[in-house]
Amino acid sequence: MATGVPVSDFSGGVQTNAYLENLGFSIVRLPNGSPRFGGGEPPKFALGRVYHRQTEIHDRFGGSRQSGIAPSSRVPAIFIFTGDSGEQYGYFDGRDELGMFSYTGEGQVGDMEFKRGNLAIREHAANGQALHLFKSRGKGKGQEYLGEHAYGGHTMRRGPDREGAQKNIIVFQLVPVALLDEESIASPDDEVTEDPAPTNLEEARKRAIEAVCDTGNEMGKAALRKLYRRSKRVKDYVLLRAKGICESCQQPAPFKRKDGSAYLEPHHTTRVSDGGLDHPRYVAALCPACHRHIHHGVGGDEMNLELISAIAAKEAEA
C-alpha cells in the first residue's frame, strides 16, 4: 500500500518494514531523491562552548523553544537539554565512568511513553538525525554544549511524577560519538566476539537495516559494544554497496587495504561527525579526497547535497 509518506516520518515505520521483510513480504521503495530536512546544513557546535538557546540554537536551526527534547524539521538534528530542574522529582542526569550520559525522558505526569521527543531520540539513527546535548548553566546563563551523542539503549524505572504519583520513567543511555571507535571499546582483557562478515549484498543490507532498528536495555560497556557492532554492520553494507567505487566522484578507490579490499571511507551525509549509527541512506562510501573536500573544501556543502540525492536513489532501488 503506497501512502505517499516516507516510512521514517511515522512512528515505527522503519521497524514495521523490517518486520514485514523478515516475514517474506516485498517492500517497494518509491524513489525520493530530495533531502528530508528543508536543505539545511548539519549544525556545528564547539564542545564546551556556552550558547544562547533562543538566538544561537532555535533561531538558526529550529526546534521547540521550551521542550527538553527539541527535534528540528529545518535541519537533521535533535537538540536535547539537561539541567538540575528534575532533581526535585528524583531525576539525576549525568555521565558515568565510561563517559556515557544517562538522560531522563520527557513527560511530567503519568507514565513516560515512546512518543514525541522520547520516540525521536530512540529512532534518531533511522531518521538521519544527530543528537546534540546541552546542559543549562542556570537561568539566563546559557547552554553548555556537551557534544554529539547516539542512542545506546534505555532502561525503565519507577519514580514520582509532578503530582507525586508513581510512574514509569525512561532513562536513555546516550553515547558520545567520539567513543564509537574500536580502540575506545576494546581492551586487551575484553573478550572480543567477531561479527561474521556478510556473504552478499542482500544479506549485508538486511543486517544493516536490522542494526538500525534494534533497541535494547544494555547499559555501560555492553551498550557501547553493541552500538559499535551495529554501526559496523551499516559500514560493512555501505562499503559493499559501493563496489570499490567512490559514491561521489564515481572513481575507483585510490588503493587497497592490507586485506585486499578497496579503501573507501564512510561519510555520514546528515551529520558533521562520521562516528556512530545511521540508516544506510544517510551513509556514503567515499575516496579520501572527496571526503575531505565535503568536510573542509569550497563547495563541499553542495557536493554533500548531491550525494544525499544520489544515495537516496541507490537505496530506493535496493
**Residue ranges in the chain whose pLDDT is less than 50:** 1-11, 14, 21-22, 26-35, 182-192
* pLDDT score, position 39: 56
Indicate the pTM of the whole model.
Answer: 0.78
Domain coordinates in residue numbering, the chain: 7-317
Given this model, what pLDDT does residue 226 score? Answer: 85
Alpha carbon distances (Å) from 124 to 41, 90, 133, 264, 276: 17, 27, 13, 25, 11
Q: Which three cell numbers stand for residue 171?
A: 532513562
Q: In the prediction, which pLDDT does 92 show?
A: 77
State residue 235's pLDDT score: 93
Q: What is the pLDDT of residue 90?
A: 60
pLDDT of residue 88: 57
pLDDT score of 274: 81
pLDDT of amino acid 253? 97
147-170, pLDDT tens digit by residue?
A: 999 999 899 999 888 888 899 999
Hey, which CATH number is domain 7-317, 3.20.20.140, 2.30.280.10, 2.40.10.120, 3.40.50.300? 2.30.280.10
